Amino acid sequence: MPGTELFGAEERKEIEDVLSTGILFRYNHDAQRNNIWKAKDFEEEAKKITGAKYALAVSNGSAAIMAALTASGIGTGDEVICPPFTYIATIEAILFLGGLPVFAEIDETLCLSASGIEKAITPNTKAVCLVHMCGGNADMDSIMDVIKKHNLILVEDAGQAFASSYKGTYTGLFGKAGAYSFDFFKIATAGEGGIFVTNDETTYKLADSFCDHGHDHVGDKRGMENHPIIGFNFRISELHAAVGAAQTRKVAQIRDTNRSHKKFIQKKLAATEGISFAKLGDESGDSATFLNILLPSTEIAQRVVDEFNKAGIAGFDYWFKNMYHFINQWDHIKNLKTASKLAIHVLDAPQDYKNLHLPKTQEVIGKLISFGVKCAWTEEYMSAMADKISECVKKAMKPVNA
């Protein structure tokens, strides 16, 4: 959790600014707030890093991806190609907007592949919701070729990939709109928070209204604002935005440190038989928040996990059995268990979610073990960590009956 490692005077000062005014609401109250606008500051810091023309701070990353989807025109009955490896919020957002998720194959980038998207396209496909997983980036050149060929809408969930880029363009800015998460576990945190980004003014205005009950935010009297669309409440508070702004100013430093640490550990581990690493669409654009190890097979990966647990190694995720991030454990999605009826119950799912055939995805996630990279690690700690990982992998690689 790199962001939380660097909590300090900067975050405290930003919070105290807000408390000094008593205005915790992000809009209006101009006279009382003494020109303190932390949500606006947060948005500006995100724009500085990503180069986005428009940024909107919202209550969380889930709200950000929902805003990105709806502002891009995704709604009832629209088929949206999405990955089976993502935080569950991506799928929830599509469903709650009335969309119909269509799961497609990922590859060793841990993201949707161009071939996976191509195979999942039907006459009813409207959009692709691409998720940049584990701090990396997808193979955007090949994916954009498919998007353009089929005239699809691209929405990017870069919740885990803030500050990641592909050939100079930041994740979240290849399509109509993008989303970042600033929850407790990200490269920078607001406690709870998210950022919606786009380079299109109309899309931004739709998201801006959608996330605040349809308000157009014109004028300085909230009760007299017009409502061009129906919306809901996904506003961020000034307190959360204050932390987010301070944290985002540290992202460049965190990213550079992460990259150095990740390269150091990868170099140490590369000589160990059985260890390879997840690919990146663009190595130079890695945010390096995760060290993603690929083992030769699912069986060996599971043996490695057992060895890690025996050795007391912590801080890793074996996504194949993770309840939140991988479709194998999403029984509530497979069975469409909801509190109330959704559009998908009326329109029917475009796939049999209980019997999906995604062999490449099962292979990749079965072999994947990820470690969160920390910027506070010392070289001594990383050397010892790499040695322990290597030793566990060597044990797991031995024949079971040897």
Structure-token pair, residue 331: 């029984």
Picking from 63, 94, 57, 60, the residue whose alpha carbon sits closest to that of residue 79 is 94
Beta-carbon count within 10 A of 141 CB:
12
Picking from 189, 86, 193, 100, the residue whose alpha carbon sits closest to that of residue 138 is 86
Q: How far is Cα 304 from Cα 342, in angstroms, rounded to an integer?
A: 41
3-state class (DSSP) for residue 199? coil
DSSP 398: S
Q: How far is Cα 175 from Cα 179, in angstroms, rounded to an integer?
A: 11
Beta-carbon count within 10 A of 33 CB:
20
How many Å separate Cα 178 from the centre of its chain? 10
Q: Order of strands, edge to edge, in the sheet holding 276-277? A: 276-277, 290-294, 368-372, 316-317
Beta carbons within 8 Å of 109's beta carbon, 6+ residues apart: 136, 137, 138, 139, 278, 279, 280, 281
Task: Catalytic residue, from 38, 126, 186, 374: name it.
Answer: 186
Q: Is 388 a catalytic residue?
A: no
DSSP secondary structure of 60-128 = -HHHHHHHHHHHTT--TT-EEEE-SBS-THHHHHHHHTT-EEEE--B-TTSSB-HHHHHHH--TTEEEE
Q: What is the 3-state secondary structure (H, E, C) of 36-59?
A: CCHHHHHHHHHHHHHCCCEEEEEC
* Burial profile 185-205: b = 16 or more Cβ within 10 angstroms, e = fewer: ebbbbbbbbbbbbbbeeebbb
- Give me the active site residues, please: 186
